[in-house]
Amino acid sequence: MGAVLLIDFGSTYTKVTAVDVENERLLGTAAAYTTIQTDINDGLANALALLEQTTGPLAFSARYACSSAAGGLRMAVSGLVPELTAEAAKQASLGAGAKIAKIYSYDLTEDDAEEIDQLQPDIFLLVGGTDGGNTATILNNAKMLATCKRDFPVVIAGNRSAARQCQRYLEGRETYLCENVMPRFGQLNIEPAQSQIRALFLRRIIQAKGLSKATELISGILMPTPSAMMRAMQLLAEGCEGESGIGDLMALDVGGATTDVYSIAEGMPQDATTVYKGLPEPYIKRTVEGDIGMRYSIHGIVEAAGLSRVAQLAGLEPAQFQQMTDHLASHTDEIPQSEDWERLDFALASMACETAARRHAGTTEEAYTMAGKVFVQTGKDLRQVRQLVVTGGSLIHTKRTGEIAAHAFFSPADPMSLRPIKARVLVDRRYILAAMGLLAEHHPQAALRIMKKELIPDGYSK
């Protein structure tokens, strides 16, 4: 059996990873700069040439790819109540690897329909009402969507009583019926909608974004890159036949524009004095922080953490710090070359980890009742999670990974945020996680063993 090639078509880089499946080892990785203007195959050819410089000529028995090129998978969603079906729609879309352009709740208006046209979603997810519950809103929203001028497919995953009528209102547009994302109150059922979204991504989005030229070379599994990442994290946590997983985990991917957080854990209340409130969250959960990123979203980090705090962490004067971040925001491809710049990136990455982890994890509140003190939990309790996987340039190209990642942990200064108390930090030094998610589709055991080998422990929480 020959080598397997795993390709990640990103918006700025095409990354390739070659794997010897039989011996469960990495042969090499390489990345080549690509732009939207250039043919996607040029980027791939360049990356392959770079790869073969280090590995020598390779014969591939299979090539699999994932993509976040051309903006990735953009979605807009509408639900009924913001905390209920609209939240379920959000979870379904993020779990399918999408970027969410906008979440609507209650009735869509004519203005909303115009806005949706401007947002140009690749897919629209229409939900609302439990099965047998409210139909008025989803029907209204189907009618409003029918007035949109742009041609985007609509996945209908709301109250089943209204599904066919929604489809009729949207006649002439590509529509797909799925099981309700919330069939009963408080019950999340996002997998059917997710697999429909992924199937659509393959069939439609890949073609629309000029990736079809590349598909001739590829044996299969084109999925959004975040889906591949999620698949890798699930495999690493759960294991597969013949190889055990490492257990519940949380993962951070700090990028230039966004920070993604994943958790593979139930996270439900641990004891009888805790009451859970709100929609239960998925066991495999993904959140995306669009305002937290090391370059394009650099100001979002400063805004979330506070200028004085992040400047102090960097050991820089606020004014100087401000000047440096402004510079990076407009020079997004710069990497730190001197000690000052390294300290700056250290502080930014630390605050990105803290902010994104805090937004991902659940919270608890104390409440005093006649029966004594109780805790009210919302979202996932990740305090018992023992593994934190980290990836992204700012975390893997530094010696201070453990120190940066520790900011994602539980903090006594913020005890209401249910983040891991004591976890081992595992670093994706060779940037292979998305590739391993792809490999997992056909060779889960090899993918898992390679991850276990390649993820390097670095640092423990205090």
Partner 1 sequence: MEKKKLVIGVIGADVHAVGIQILYHAFTDAGFDVTNLGVMVSQEEYIAAAIETKADAIVVSSLYGQGELDCRGMREKCDEAGLKGILLYCGGNIVIGKQEFSDVEKRFKSMGFDRAFPPGTAPETTIAALKEDLGVQD
What residues make contact with partner 1 under the rule CB under 8 A? 80-81, 83-85, 128-130, 132-135, 182, 184-186, 275, 277, 367-371, 374, 376
CA distance 65 to 78: 30
Q: What residue has token string 């005093």?
A: 368
159 or 350: CB nearest partner 1: 159
Shortest Cβ 188–partner 1 spacing (Å): 13
149 or 373: CB nearest partner 1: 373
128 or 255: CB nearest partner 1: 128
1 or 370: CB nearest partner 1: 370
Shortest Cβ 10–partner 1 spacing (Å): 39
For residues 23, 44, 232, 407, the Cα torsion angle rounded to the nearest 10 degrees is 120
Residue from 396, 226, 389, 393 nearest 296 by CA: 393
Shortest Cβ 167–partner 1 spacing (Å): 20
CA distance 404 to 395: 7
Shortest Cβ 128–partner 1 spacing (Å): 8
SS3 at position 171: coil
CA distance 123 to 204: 10
Shortest Cβ 130–partner 1 spacing (Å): 5
135 or 297: CB nearest partner 1: 135
First to last CA, the chain: 46
49 or 367: CB nearest partner 1: 367
Shortest Cβ 363–partner 1 spacing (Å): 15
For residues 304, 309, 315, 321, the Cα torsion angle rounded to the nearest 10 degrees is 50
User: 217-226: buried (b, 16+ CB within 10 Å) or exposed (e) per residue?
Assistant: ebeebbbbbb
161 or 332: CB nearest partner 1: 161
Pairing of strands 74-78, 123-126: parallel
371 or 413: CB nearest partner 1: 371
Shortest Cβ 96–partner 1 spacing (Å): 22
Strands (E), 319-378: 363-369, 372-378
Shortest Cβ 250–partner 1 spacing (Å): 28
Which pair of tokens denotes residue 437?
């998610």
Q: What are phi and psi of 408, to 5 degrees?
A: -80, -15
Strand partners, 33: 13
Compute the half-sphere exposure of residue 205: CA atoms within 13 Å on the CB side of its CA: 28
